[in-house]
Every structure is written in structure tokens, then in C-alpha cells.
């Protein structure tokens, strides 16, 4: 039986990476949404899905209000939460509300995909290391090596923006962005800007 999973996240790279890993086994089909409104429209049109995976901080969520709306809309099928910023308290509250699981974006993509399959099968999932406080969700080791400006530029790369677009967003010169991208590639040991974005995604940066 083919699993149908809705991935709702405002980062294209996150959606595409998760979808790629999930669909690689041939037994899963995925649909994507970039905000809460789109997710609810897809559930109304094509749902309920075997699993809806929601990004805690995407547009329209309003904290856990969005989670409740999707739990109600997807009827008796599971809904899980994914986040790179939410605290353990948020994760616990989400699961108390009925979420099937909570996935920090610090998980590797392959581990993320396996956990998502568990949740689609009706298994509750939340990493023990995260829920017990052994991981700090506020700032990862990955982020500690980056300046605030580098983080801003990296978010632009993850959004597949050009140097010119990032420069405009940050009100900087394009040549400055080019320098930051070069430094980021060196710091992250990345081959190019796309590789840097993928490394950041795998590290749970958002």
C-alpha cells in the first residue's frame, strides 16, 4: 500500500530533500505546501493524508493554533510537527494536543525520513536526546561557528536566492555577499553555494 504524505514547510529545500528520501523506496507519494493555508486546502481537496508533517514556524501557523487546525482537518490520520527553532516545551505541548511526533531539523535527512515513516504507520516519535534536554534547540554547534551576517546569507542560499537578491534583502553590496558566500563555503567545507545550503539543511539550520 502506498503512503500519502503532505509536507508543509516554507523552505523549498526542506520539502524537496524530505520528499526525495521518502519517495526513494517507491512506496510513498508526497504532496507539498509552503504555508498553513495551502496545507489546509490540500487536505480538504485530497485528504485525509496518511501523515501531515507541519513546520512549526511557517507562515500562517500562529504557534500551535495551526497544528490544532490541521489535526481537526486531517480527521483520524496522524499529524507531526517539524522545527529547527521550537523548544522542548513546544514539542511536549504539541504531543499533548495530539501530534503523533516531533522532529527537530537537527536530524539527518535519512533519519528524518525513517522517523516520518514511523509516524505515518501510527507510531509516536520524538528523539529522546531532544526531549530529555541533551540537545540545545536554541543554538546548535553548527550555528556557533557562524556570524549573524553569515547566518542571514546562508538563509538566502537555502531559499535559492541569487547574490543580487540577498544583497537587496540585507541592504548590502553584491560583492560583499559574494565574499560571505565564499567564506561560508570554506567554513562548511562546501563545494559550492548549493552544497552549502544542503549542509546547513542537514545540520537543522533554519
Instruction: Give the model's pLDDT for residue 86.
Output: 75
In terms of Cα–Cα distance, which of 122, 103, 128, 123 is closest to 113? 103
For 205, list phi and psi in degrees, rounded to 5: -75, 140
pLDDT tens string for the chain (206 positions)? 788 999 999 988 889 988 998 888 788 999 999 999 999 999 999 989 999 999 988 899 888 899 999 999 999 899 999 988 777 888 888 999 999 999 988 888 778 888 888 888 888 888 766 666 654 445 555 676 778 888 899 999 998 999 999 999 988 889 889 989 988 998 888 899 998 998 888 777 77
Q: Which long-range contacts (CB under 8 A, 24 or more apart) does 12-15 make?
A: 12/159, 12/160, 13/158, 13/159, 13/160, 13/197, 13/198, 13/201, 14/55, 14/82, 14/105, 14/201, 14/206
Instruction: Give the model's pLDDT for residue 72.
Output: 95
Could you tell me the domains of the chain?
Answer: 3-131 (3.40.50.2300), 141-202 (1.10.10.10)
Amino acid at each position: 500500500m502506498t503512503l500519502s504524505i503532505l509536507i508543509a514547510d516554507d523552505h523549498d529545500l526542506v520539502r524537496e530533500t524530505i520528499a526525495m528520501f521518502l519517495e526513494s523506496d517507491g512506496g510513498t507519494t508526497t504532496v507539498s505546501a509552503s504555508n498553513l493555508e495551502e496545507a489546509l486546502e490540500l487536505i480538504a481537496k485530497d485528504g485525509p493524508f496518511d501523515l501531515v508533517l507541519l513546520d512549526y514556524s511557517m507562515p500562517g501557523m500562529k504557534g500551535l493554533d495551526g497544528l490544532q487546525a490541521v489535526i481537526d482537518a486531517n480527521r483520524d490520520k496522524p499529524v507531526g510537527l517539524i522545527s529547527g527553532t521550537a523548544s522542548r516545551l513546544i514539542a511536549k505541548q504539541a504531543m499533548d494536543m495530539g501530534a503523533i511526533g516531533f522532529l527537530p531539523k537537527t536530524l539527518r535527512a535519512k533519519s528524518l525520513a525513517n522517523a516520518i515513516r514511523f509516524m505515518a504507520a501510527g507510531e509516536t516519535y520524538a528523539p529522546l536526546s531532544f526531549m530529555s534536554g541533551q540537545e540545545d534547540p536554541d543554538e546548535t554547534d553548527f550555528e556557533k561557528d557562524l556570524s549573524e551576517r553569515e547566518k542571514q546569507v546562508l538563509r538566502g542560499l537555502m531559499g535559492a536566492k541569487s547574490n543580487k537578491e540577498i544583497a537587496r534583502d540585507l541592504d548590502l553590496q553584491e560583492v560583499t555577499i559574494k565574499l560571505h558566500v565564499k567564506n561560508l563555503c570554506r567554513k562548511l567545507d562546501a563545494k559550492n553555494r548549493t552544497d552549502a545550503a544542503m549542509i546547513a539543511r542537514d545540520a537543522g539550520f533554519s
